[in-house]
Structure 1
């Protein structure tokens, strides 16, 4: 089973990763390359939501672990 959607920060948005995902039809939260479009598309909304979910899950888990171990 392959992934249909992938969330990653700017460090994973290299040309090779973008091409790999595009060839396999995987939706990502990677920042687009090139000139910005004037009209927002459905993919932009999905990209934004993937980035939000990824950040919430990852950053939230780090915060909980820091509090658990008393590392505020």
Structure 2
């Protein structure tokens, strides 16, 4: 479950996309720490269509996602 800050961040992100006329193709996942970030990224990467972009709202999740992308040898700009 999202806490208040996470909920506002996700709502703001979706609102900004709509204001720019962009479709929101994102699925929002709620992870808590680096390990959950790794696991979630791996689940996404196992799907046929890989994500083309990620928005991560917490440093701990970002650490896990970056670590998993590095293990998968995905270049991060």
TM tier, shorter chain? under 0.3
Which structure dedicates a bigger proportion of its chain to strand? Answer: 1
Rg (Cα) greater in structure: 1
Q: TM-score, normalised by structure 2?
A: 0.26
Name the TM-score, length of structure 1 as normaliser: 0.27
